[in-house]
Amino acid sequence: MEERRINVVVNEEPKSVDVEPRLLLAHFLREVLGLTGTHIGCDTTNCGVCTVLVDGLPMKSCTMFAVMVDGKSVTTVEGLGLPSELHPIQEGFREEHGLQCGFCTPGMMMASKALLEENPNPTEEDIRWGLSGNLCRCTGYQNIVKSVLWAAEKLRSEAGAISR
Amino acid sequence: MAQALDEIKIGGLGSSRKRVEDDRFLRGKGNYTDDFKLPGMVHMEILRSPLAHARIKSIDTSKAWQIPGVHMVLTGEMAAQHNLAWMPTLSYDTQAVLATDKVRFQGQEIACVCADDPYIAKDGCEAIVVEYEPLPPIVNPWQSQAEGAPIIRDDKEGQTDNICYRWEVGDREGTERAFAQADLVSKLELHYPRSHPSPIECCGSIADYNSATAKLTVYMTTQAPHIIRAAVAIVAELPEHMIRIISPDIGGGFGNKVPVYPGYVCSILCSILLARPVKWIEDKTGNLISTHYARDIYYKGELALRKDGKILAVRFHCDSDNGAFFSDAQPTKFKIGLIHSAFAAYDIPYGYMTAQGAYTNKAPGGVAYRCSFRVTEAMFFQERAIQAAASDLGMDQAAFRRLNLVKDDQFPFRTPYGFLLDSGQFHKCLDVALNAIGYDDFLREKEAARAQGRRLGIGISTMTEPLGAGNSREYDILGIKMFDAAELRVHPSGKAILKIGSQTQGQGHETTFAQIVTHELGIPAADILVQHGDTDNTPFGMGTYASRSTPVAGAATAMVARKVRAKARKLAAHLLEVSEEDVEWELGRFHVRGAPSNGVSIQECAMAAYGNMPDGMEPGLENNAYYDPPNMTWPFAAYIVTVEVDPETGVWDVLRMVAVDDCGVRINPMIVEGQIMGGMTEAYAMANMQFITYDAEGNCVGSNYMDYLLPTAWETPGFELHEVVTPSPHHPIGAKGIGECAAVGGPAAFVNAVMNAVDDTGVRNIDMPLLPDRVWEAMKYKRDVSGAPPVKSDS
Best of B712, B719, B750 to disrupt the A interface (most A CBs within 10 Å) is B712
What is the spatial distance between Cα B296 and Cα B709, in angstroms, rounded to a whole number? 17
Closest-approach residue (CA) in chain A for B69: A1
Pairing of strands B652-662, B720-723: parallel
Query: Cβ–Cβ of A93/B285 closer than 8 Å?
Result: no
Across B489-513, b (16+ Cβ under 10 Å) vs e yields bbbeebbbebbbbbbbbbbbbbbbb
Which of B18, B252, B508 lies nearest to residue A137, judging by beta carbons? B252
Query: Cβ–Cβ of B678/A44 closer than 8 Å?
Result: no
Which of B28, B284, B719 lies nearest to residue A106, judging by beta carbons? B28
What is the spatial distance between Cα B650 and Cα B110, in angstroms, rounded to a whole number? 43
Q: What is the pLDDT of residue B793?
A: 46
What is the spatial distance between Cα B221 and Cα A15, in angstroms, rounded to a whole number? 32
Closest CA to B48 of B63, B57, B59: B59
| Average pLDDT for B165-175 | 97
Q: Kindly indicate the confidence band of residue B794, based on its pLDDT and cuts at 50, 70 and 90.
A: very low
CB of A21 within 8 Å of a chain B CB? The answer is no
Best of B18, B32, B42, B200 to disrupt the A interface (most A CBs within 10 Å) is B200
Residues in B closer than 8 angstroms to A138, CB to CB, are 252, 506, 674, 678
Question: In this structure, how many other beta carbons lie within 10 angstroms of the beta carbon of residue B261?
Answer: 30
| Average pLDDT for B173-188 | 98
Q: What is the pLDDT of residue A164?
A: 63
Determine contact, residues B672/B641, Cβ cutoff 8 Å.
no
Residues 140-159 of chain A with CB under 8 A from chain B are 140-145
Query: Cβ–Cβ of A139/B680 closer than 8 Å?
Result: no
**B420-469+631-795 — its CATH code?**
3.30.365.10
Q: Across chain B, which distance is largest between two alpha carbons, in Å? A: 89
- Annotate A39-62 with DSSP letters as a single string: ----SSSSS-TTEEEETTEEEEGG
Closest-approach residue (CA) in chain A for B683: A140
* B303 DSSP β-pair partners: B186, B314
pLDDT of residue B699 exceeding 80: yes
Catalytic residue ranges of B? 223, 370-371, 740
SS3 content of chain A, % helix, strand, coil (to 5): 40, 15, 40
Q: What is the pLDDT of residue B477?
A: 85
Residues in A closer than 8 angstroms to B533, CB to CB, are none
Determine contact, residues B463/B669, Cβ cutoff 8 Å.
no
Query: Cβ–Cβ of B25/A81 closer than 8 Å?
Result: no
What is the spatial distance between Cα B666 and Cα B664, in angstroms, rounded to a whole number? 6
What is the spatial distance between Cα B341 and Cα B420, in angstroms, rounded to a whole number? 10
In percent, the amount of chain A with pLDDT more than 70 equals: 98
Residues in B closer than 8 angstroms to A140, CB to CB, are 674, 677-681, 716, 719
Q: At what angle do helices B555-576 and B602-611 cross, to 10 degrees?
A: 70
| Average pLDDT for B322-341 | 91
* Torsion over CA: B444, B447, B453, B459 (sign): positive
Q: What is the pLDDT of residue B2?
A: 65
| Average pLDDT for B706-710 | 96
Residues 6+ apart with CB under 8 A from B33: B201, B204, B205, B206, B219, B220, B221, B248, B281
Closest CA to B382 of B434, B346, B355: B346
Residues 6+ apart with CB under 8 A from B134: B51, B53, B54
Which of B35, B118, B200 lies nearest to residue A47, judging by beta carbons? B200
What is the spatial distance between Cα B783 and Cα B771, in angstroms, rounded to a whole number? 15
Tell me the C-alpha to C-alpha distance, in Å, between residue B170 and each of B44, B317, B381, B506. 48, 12, 17, 37
Residue B16: HSE in the Cβ half-sphere, 13 Å Cα cutoff? 10
Determine contact, residues B755/B661, Cβ cutoff 8 Å.
no
pLDDT of residue B515 exceeding 60: yes
Residues 6+ apart with CB under 8 A from A33: A10, A15, A17
Residues 58-97 of chain A with CB under 8 A from chain B are 76-78, 80-81, 83, 86, 90, 93-95, 97
Q: Kindly indicate the confidence band of residue B790, based on its pLDDT and cuts at 50, 70 and 90.
A: low
Query: Cβ–Cβ of B704/A136 closer than 8 Å?
Result: no
Distance from CA of B207 to the nearest CA of A (A): 18
Query: Cβ–Cβ of A42/B714 closer than 8 Å?
Result: no
Query: Cβ–Cβ of B252/A83 closer than 8 Å?
Result: no
* Torsion over CA: B136, B138, B142, B144 (sign): positive
Name the helix (H) or strand (E) containing B519.
helix B509-521
Q: Kindly indicate the confidence band of residue B330, based on its pLDDT and cuts at 50, 70 and 90.
A: confident
Span(s) in chain B for CATH 3.30.365.10: 22-30+484-627, 420-469+631-795
Name the helix (H) or strand (E) containing B51.
none
What is the spatial distance between Cα B293 and Cα B367, in angstroms, rounded to a whole number? 6
In percent, the amount of chain B with pLDDT more than 90 equals: 94
Residues 92-131 of chain A with CB under 8 A from chain B are 93-95, 97, 99-106, 109, 127-129, 131
Distance from CA of B659 to the nearest CA of A (A): 14
Q: What is the pLDDT of residue B79?
A: 97
Q: Kindly indicate the confidence band of residue B236, based on its pLDDT and cuts at 50, 70 and 90.
A: confident
Alpha-carbon dihedral angle through residues A59, A60, A65, A67, given to the nearest 10 degrees: 20
Burial class (CB in 10 A: 0-12, 13-18, 19+), A11: middle
pLDDT tens digits along B413-436: 999 999 999 999 999 999 999 999
Query: Cβ–Cβ of B249/A109 closer than 8 Å?
Result: no
pLDDT of residue B1 exceeding 70: no
* Torsion over CA: B228, B232, B233, B234 (sign): positive
Residues in B closer than 8 angstroms to A107, CB to CB, are none
Determine contact, residues B272/B346, Cβ cutoff 8 Å.
no
In percent, the amount of chain B with pLDDT more than 70 equals: 99
pLDDT of residue B792 exceeding 50: no
Residues in B closer than 8 angstroms to A136, CB to CB, are 200, 713
pLDDT tens digits along B536-561: 999 999 999 989 999 999 999 999 99
Which of A37, A86, A141 lies nearest to residue B29, judging by beta carbons? A37
Distance from CA of A38 to the nearest CA of B (A): 7
pLDDT of residue B791 exceeding 70: no
Q: What is the pLDDT of residue B219?
A: 98
Closest CA to B733 of B566, B509, B519, B547: B519
pLDDT tens digits along B603-629: 999 999 999 999 999 999 999 999 999
Closest CA to B249 of B532, B498, B513, B525: B532
| Span of B197-206, B482-491, B785-794 with lowest mean pLDDT | B785-794
Query: Cβ–Cβ of A39/B251 closer than 8 Å?
Result: yes
What is the spatial distance between Cα B460 and Cα B382, in angstroms, rounded to a whole number? 12
pLDDT of residue B404 exceeding 50: yes
Q: What is the pLDDT of residue A84?
A: 85
Average pLDDT, chain B: 96
In percent, the amount of chain A with pLDDT more than 90 equals: 93
| Average pLDDT for B258-267 | 96
Best of A11, A19, A42 to disrupt the B interface (most B CBs within 10 Å) is A42
Across B128-150, b (16+ Cβ under 10 Å) vs e yields bebebeebebbbbbebbeeeebe
Q: Set out the domains of chain A in order of their start, with CATH numbers.
A: 4-79 (3.10.20.30), 88-159 (1.10.150.120)
Q: What is the pLDDT of residue B795?
A: 41
Query: Cβ–Cβ of B712/A135 closer than 8 Å?
Result: yes
Alpha-carbon dihedral angle through residues B664, B668, B669, B674, given to the nearest 10 degrees: -110
| Average pLDDT for B584-601 | 97
| Average pLDDT for B195-215 | 97
What is the spatial distance between Cα A131 and Cα A125, in angstroms, rounded to a whole number? 10
Counting DSSP H helices and E strands in chain A, the numbers are 5, 5
CA angle in degrees (0–180, nearest 5) for B36-B38-B40: 145
Residues 6+ apart with CB under 8 A from B393: B184, B186, B305, B307, B309, B400
pTM of the model: 0.97
| Average pLDDT for B220-249 | 93
What is the spatial distance between Cα B104 and Cα B259, in angstroms, rounded to a whole number? 19
What is the spatial distance between Cα B716 and Cα B654, in angstroms, rounded to a whole number? 9
pLDDT tens digits along A86-108: 999 999 999 999 999 999 999 99
CB of A32 within 8 Å of a chain B CB? The answer is no
Distance from CA of A33 to the nearest CA of B (A): 12
Across B352-388, b (16+ Cβ under 10 Å) vs e yields bbbbbbbbbbbbbbbbbbbbbbbbbbbbbbbbbbbbb
Query: Cβ–Cβ of A47/B254 closer than 8 Å?
Result: no
| Average pLDDT for B120-132 | 98
| Span of B269-278, B478-487, B504-513 with lowest mean pLDDT | B478-487
Q: Kindly indicate the confidence band of residue A83, based on its pLDDT and cuts at 50, 70 and 90.
A: confident
Q: Kindly indicate the confidence band of residue B290, based on its pLDDT and cuts at 50, 70 and 90.
A: very high
Q: Tell me: domain B22-30+484-627, CATH 3.30.365.10, correct?
A: yes
Distance from CA of A122 to the nearest CA of B (A): 14
Determine contact, residues B302/B296, Cβ cutoff 8 Å.
no
Closest CA to B768 of B786, B782, B744, B781: B786
Query: Cβ–Cβ of B32/A94 closer than 8 Å?
Result: no
Q: What is the pLDDT of residue B237?
A: 85
Across B283-315, b (16+ Cβ under 10 Å) vs e yields bbbbbbbbbbbbbbbbbebbbbbeeebbbbbbb
Question: In this structure, how many other beta carbons lie within 10 angstroms of the beta carbon of residue A160?
Answer: 9
Query: Cβ–Cβ of B705/A81 closer than 8 Å?
Result: no
